A and B are shown apart, each in its own frame.
Chain A
Amino acid sequence: MKAAAPNAFRTRVLQRGAFWVFRFATYFIIACASYVFLDIGIKGSRTVFTTTPPFINVAFLSERPQTLYVFDFEGKKETLGDQDFRKWKAAHPDAVVEPATVAYSAGGIWPCIVGTALLVVGSMTLALAIGISSAIYLSEYSRSGPWIRLIRIAILNLAGVPSIVFGLFGFGLFVIFFGWNVSLLAGWFTLGLMILPAIITASEESLRAVPQGLREGSLALGATKWQTIRKNVLPYALPGILTSSILGIARVAGETAPIMFTAAYAMRDEMPWQVNRVTDFVFQGVMALPYHIYVVSSKIPQNEYTERVQYGAAMIFLVLVMLIALTSIVLRERSRSRLSW
């Protein structure tokens, strides 16, 4: 036993060392992620919050993106947005200034927020409608066979297709082939199809979680299969379906690649509801928050003037998506503890 003692000591040291390595790896990941959150959060909050009441930069959230004019006047450095610059010019008709312009860096991001909201609402409606009905078919009506297996494999594989391929597909089919141009409708369909596999899987799981007894009871009372599903299965499965689709919302809102050439414009002056005819509504492109972030971070240089809008937009976007994701996680935890048959 004595000879084994140093050996045992070595294994213990080894174990402790290995555990420290694991611990370090875990906390390193957490540190990296926290750094991302903090950096964007701190620099973004300089834009989003103000020191004077109402403490939130309302203009940034409610205005359109504008070109920023930077110029020296009477020894002072002036930075004005497009509208303010015109007003200033009118007030100083004789002033000769040579402003440097920085695109997108003044004003706010209101149209982007609206555009993203429209895209999310439309594509989620579409995806839920198609997704729930295919889930009902798969879990209630279909009998397992080679055909259903094929469908399941297809769903599984569809989930792994890169989002840019969806974008390419949407561009080719909806934008070019159907001739919808860059429009909300094309964006809805592209995003909806992208999120479909996740919705189908989640809905099927919720439908399966409804106990068989509920269906049998209803059928025994003479209800038809459809009546059973509508009155006795769907109402119990719906909360679960909606909860898990919130995570889908986070994904739809966060994706840039599929909407780059199906729905998003870099700059658009009108708001989405300023259209001539009602039918034009779905055939118009919109500004979207993720695409706007892409544009402001790649198409304009990095400097003190652009940082404001870059970090501001990134923070608003990050907070929105994180809130959605957080809601979904919290709801999932709660529904897990509550719903148990």
Chain B
Amino acid sequence: MVAIVVLALITIFLFREGFGFFGQNLTNIRLYRQSGLEFVDLMRKHADAHSALSRGLSTLRLKQVRAGEKANVPLDAINASLAPFDEFAAAFSDSAEPLNGVVSDSGELASALRAQLAAQIVARDQKADPVQPGASSAEGELENQPLTQSETLAKLRESTAVFEAAAAAINTQVSGLLASAPQIPEASAEKAFTPWKGHARDHLRELVAGGAELRAWSPDVPVPWYRAVGSFLFGRDWVTASFWQDWYGIIPLFVGSVMVSIVALVIAVPFGVASAIYVSEVASATEKRLIKPYIEFIAAIPSVVLGFFGIAVVGQALRAASESSWLSWISFFPLSERLNVFTAGCLLALMAVPTIFTLSEDALRNVPRGFKEASYALGANRLQTIARVLVPASLSGIVSAILLGLGRVIGETMVVLLCAGNRIEIPDFSAGLGAFFQPVHTMTGIIAQEMGEVDAGSIHYRALFMVGLVLFVLTLGINYLAQRFVARYRMSIG
């Protein structure tokens, strides 16, 4: 009786708080457009691309120095041979000066406007509530607000021309630079330099086209409602409490949770299932009596203790191992962070093993005796019986055990909060398996970390409830799947 009330309460409450988020997020995104922040970000994109290219140049330089060092060329000689290259790089990064100027100027304008508009919205809300004192003064302010908004926006628009001028200047300058690009003595660096030139040309083309893009931008184009949902479900940034613009995109958190769970399951499933087979089929009676309660006992270890253990022992050990010479052939070793996906995954595996073990063992034991006896009677040995008869017969039970283990892992908070590194970023998948050794943040971790610091009813608060809702729906789905598998398993035995 109470359970359904609680479940309903949880659902209703999460939805109530969560859906408030979309409205607020929509306002948030509208503000972003109306105040011209979006406009500035369009320009900033180009400035960022330019500085990324500059960084590319400096990594190129580093590569050449390394190559020189390997060939035992003295440092002075290397520097001398790189002098034309340095000149080129300096000229390239200087060419962005006017662009950066425009971006920072208009950025200031836009964020001031955003603050104004936000205050205006607060004032409007107060006006709607007549009891609120100070509403009349807010109204007075309200009168001259639109004027400043259009003024600021007009100023912003003027910067389009500045931007175009800067773009044209950069275009001629960099084109000239590219035409007279220095020769690079080192072959491998030269190989990397050619694609860089291509990127630079693309960048120039986009830069020139950027003016048209800026002209096409308008603060009055309405933001459709689905942007609010889309920017949450597919947003690639989770940025809060920044002076610029807050973004609430769940993708980095979701990816973090999924990666940690993958590591945990990849470790826990083979060990859990293998030990279940061992205990139910191979082990002697004494072993059975001792091992089974012991593994079940592991489930009682509080997660915060495991998390502490991860920080104090596993993380350190992992880093020490990654620095040892006999593992140096792995490209991403030594690790820069001791707390990462892998650390958290290992500990979560230890938490998931008891669940998987207990349920798989139950499933294996519930296979009717007749199945086993029939298999022996046909001349199969024990391994053949296990592989061909017992495991297939209990497969749905084992799968549901794995799913329940996954449910436990994805909902686990303390271990990931303490051990996953808490960096809100989608890991760099270009690093291959190295992505699993980068720090992430997870859905459960973000709730635990940020909930204590937010104001009730703010957009951030509601965004966290939305994350909770996603988590809730996810675990319900996993549970439902597991129950479906169990139901099918019962039928197949009967």
Contact = CB atoms under 8 A, between A and B. Distances in A.
Please indicate whether A and B come from the same complex rather than being unrelated chains.
yes
Contacts of A311: 312
Interface string A14-29: 1100110111011011
Given A163-B413, A254-B303, A297 B3 contact: no
A107 interface: no
Given A28-B271, A297-B311, A173 B9 contact: yes
Interface in B311-356: 311-313, 350, 353
A164 interface: yes
Contact of A30 (B295, B404, B468): B295
B301 interface: yes
Given A257-B448, A294-B307, A329-B297, A163 B381 contact: no
A151 B6 CA distance: 11
A293 interface: yes
Interface of B is mostly: helix
Contact of B277 (A22, A161, A260): A22
B89 interface: no
Nearest to A325: B300
A25 B404 CA distance: 20
Given A22-B277, A151-B3, A197-B3, A40 B305 contact: yes
Contact of B383 (A11, A293, A314): A11
Interface string A241-260: 00000010010011111001
B483 interface: yes
A318 B3 contact: no
Interface string B187-201: 000000000000000
B183 to A, nearest CB: 51
Contact of B479 (A39, A157, A164, A167): A157
A164 B468 contact: yes
Contact of B294 (A33, A293, A307, A318): A33
Given A151-B3, A157-B476, A164 B447 contact: yes
Most buried by A among B4, B297, B305, B418: B305
Given A22-B274, A134-B3, A302-B312, A322 B297 contact: yes
A100 interface: no
B1 A137 contact: yes
Nearest to B275: A26
A317 B413 CA distance: 18
Most chain B CB atoms below 10 A, which of A19, A22, A30: A22
Contacts of B295: 29-30, 33
Contacts of B274: 21-22, 25-26
Contacts of A293: 304-305, 308
Contact of A310 (B6, B312, B404, B483): B312
A318 B278 contact: no
Contacts of B7: 154, 157-158
Contact of B293 (A28, A29, A254, A329): A329
Contact of B418 (A171, A193, A200, A298): A298
A172 interface: yes
B410 interface: yes
A168 B465 contact: yes
A111 interface: no
A332 B402 CA distance: 26
Nearest to B457: A176
Interface string B403-428: 01001001111100110000000000
A32 B17 contact: no
Q: Which 7 A-B pairs have the closest CB atoms?
A: A162-B411, A254-B302, A25-B274, A22-B278, A325-B300, A15-B383, A26-B275
5 contacts: A29-B350, A33-B350, A36-B350, A150-B4, A329-B293
Given A29-B353, A168-B447, 8 more contacts: A15-B382, A25-B270, A154-B4, A157-B479, A162-B472, A167-B448, A256-B414, A257-B414
